Every structure is written in structure tokens, then in C-alpha cells.
Amino acid sequence: MNRRKFIQAATLAAAASPLLPNLARAEDAPPAKLKGNLKHSACRGCYGKIKLDDLCAAGKAMGLSGIDLLNPPDFDTVKKYDLVCSMVSYPTIDGLGGIAKSWNRIEHHDKLMQAYEQRLKETAAAGFERLICFSGNREGLDDAKGLDNCEAGLKRLVPIAEKYKVTLCMELLNSKRNHKDYQCDHVAWGVELVKRISSERFKLLYDIFHMQIMEGDVCSTIQENHQYIDHYHTGGVPGRHEIDETQELHYPRIMQAIVATGFKGYVAQEFVPKQPDALASLRQAINICDV
């Protein structure tokens, strides 16, 4: 299941579920002023029923600095609200470039180079700094060979990313429940790839939801590997819904662990709102993460 299908399915499931009580909590109130220890963002796909203009306007008022996972046609919209695209979405070419089919196959590299070079140019031209990428699914490929193949392809691409001053971020996803067979599904594998590429323009996107499912031990893992991570995504476990007390992770503690590493980048909300007021859920999440 790809990201878009998963988010759509989760949204439908949420609509069919009994609504949780709308409890009054301190974190529901608008923040008077955010602390500024982290930059806050939101992933576009989780708010697909809200027009991008409306999401940007509301998000800006809440304290967002960016919107994640946009394509070039939407760049001007976020700029209109003095926001950035904090993580540019991946390009596709002939079915390649997404989660399932990407850099772990040598035979994909030539086409991926073509697509990613163009997207790097577009990202840099807009003044944005991060572009997402994926390993691809194993499909019988062992992890050592997949690592070798990703290294070979990305070492061709990274000099272009360096030229344009754009950081490629490979996302860590769980292969246990949502993205069966995805190869970059453990921090150790991703860290080894970052070490091999050895460039400040190639890092990891640590998705807290996915890595809680695969590994747990979130705070210590972040603190031990923070130098290899350039971006974070949130999501409640289980279900990828609100990051409040209805799920198993305590997000204020996780944010404190991130801040303690000296991280000054973006934490992007990528939960699928279960409550009927999606923007209220987003506001709540920003307040929870503002430590």
C-alpha cells in the first residue's frame, strides 16, 4: 500500500468510527507564542479535503513554518502565505520513484537520475531545501545487496544535490503493517547508507509512527543517531491518528529528546485526523510538540 492509499484508507476508517469525546485540554488552546525550539510543519496528504490555500492560512496562524510533500505546481501557493515546502514530494517516471520501486534496483537508476535531477532543479529554484526519496521494496533482494544498490545510485545523484544545495532525505517506513517489504525499514540500515554516501546532502527522514512499530525505543534511538536525521514525521500508534493521550507514545517527551540533540529543523505532523475538525487536531498537535 502506498502512502496516498494508506492515508485515504485511514481517513475512511476514521469517518466510520465512533468519535472520541471532545475533551477540553490545555493543548487545545491556541498558543500565544510558540517557543521556537522546533520548526512546525504539516503533511499535505493528511488534509486532502481542505484547500491548500485554507490549510496554509490556518496553519500560518497556528505557527506552522512549512507544508510537507508538495509538488512544484503548489510551490507558489505556500510562498503566498510566507511558508516553505519543508519536504518536497518525490518525482515519478514510468512508475518509478515512489515507495515500492526506487533506488535499490540498479536498473531503475538511469530513469531515476533523470526524474530526480529535474526535481532537484525545481526545488532549488523555489528556494526549498529538502527532497524525499525511498529505497524501494525488497522483492527478494537481500538487505546487503539493496544497500549496495542504493549506494551506487545515490552516489551518482548526491553531487547534483550538493550543487543545488538540496538535502535528499530517505524515509524510514515500517514493513510490518503499512508498507510490506519496504527495505529501508530499520534505523541501522538507513544509518549505514548515510555513512556510505558521506554527504551533508543525504540524510534520513525519521518517521516516529513507523519506527515505533518497527523498533520502539524511540527517544534513545533518536539521541544515538540524530546526526544522520534531517527531518521528522509524527503519527499516533496505532492507526496513525491524533498524537494525544489516545495513543501509546508520549510526544512531549519525544520532542524533548529531539530538542536535546540540538535539532533546529522541521517536525511535520503526518497523522490522519480522526476528529471531525481536522484543523483543531492540527492545532492540538502543534501545541503538544511545542516544547
pLDDT digits (tens, 9 = 90+) for 184-240: 999 999 999 999 999 999 999 999 999 999 999 999 999 999 999 999 999 999 999
Is pLDDT above 50 for 280? yes
Residue 6 lies in a domain: no
Query: At a CB cut-off of 8 Å and minimum separation 6, what does 97 contact?
Result: 90, 91, 112, 115, 116, 134
126-136 b/e with 16+ CB inside 10 Å = b? bebbbbbbbbb
Residue 71 lies in a domain: yes
CATH number at residue 161: 3.20.20.150
Residue 89 lies in a domain: yes
Nearest CA among 100, 137, 120 for reference residue 3: 100
Query: From the CB of residue 20, how many other CB atoms can be counted at a distance below 10 Å?
Result: 13
Q: Give the model's pLDDT for residue 3.
A: 55
pLDDT per residue as tens digits for the range 162-172? 999 999 999 99
The rounded mean pLDDT for the chain is 92
Report residue 229: phi and psi, to 5°: -115, 135
Question: Model's pTM, two decimal places?
Answer: 0.90
Secondary structure class of 139 (helix, strand, coil): coil
Mean pLDDT value across residues 151-163? 98
Residue 273 lies in a domain: yes
Q: Give the model's pLDDT for residue 223.
A: 98
Residue 10 lies in a domain: no
Cβ atoms 133, 169 nearer than 8 A: yes
User: DSSP letter at 50?
Assistant: S
Is pLDDT above 70 for 133? yes
Mean pLDDT value across residues 87-111? 98
Q: In the chain, how many domains are there? A: 1
Residue 27 lies in a domain: no
Is pLDDT above 90 for 75? yes
| 33: confidence class by pLDDT, cuts 50, 70, 90 | confident
Alpha helices in the chain (DSSP H): 3-16, 52-62, 75-80, 109-126, 143-164, 187-197, 208-214, 218-225, 251-260, 278-289
Range of the domain at 92: 33-289
Dihedral sign of CA atoms 101, 104, 107, 110 in order: positive
Separation between Cα atoms, residue 144 and residue 243, nearest integer Å = 35
Mean pLDDT value across residues 54-64? 97
Residue 107 lies in a domain: yes
Query: From the CB of residue 77, how many other CB atoms can be counted at a distance below 10 Å?
Result: 17
Mean pLDDT value across residues 176-186? 97
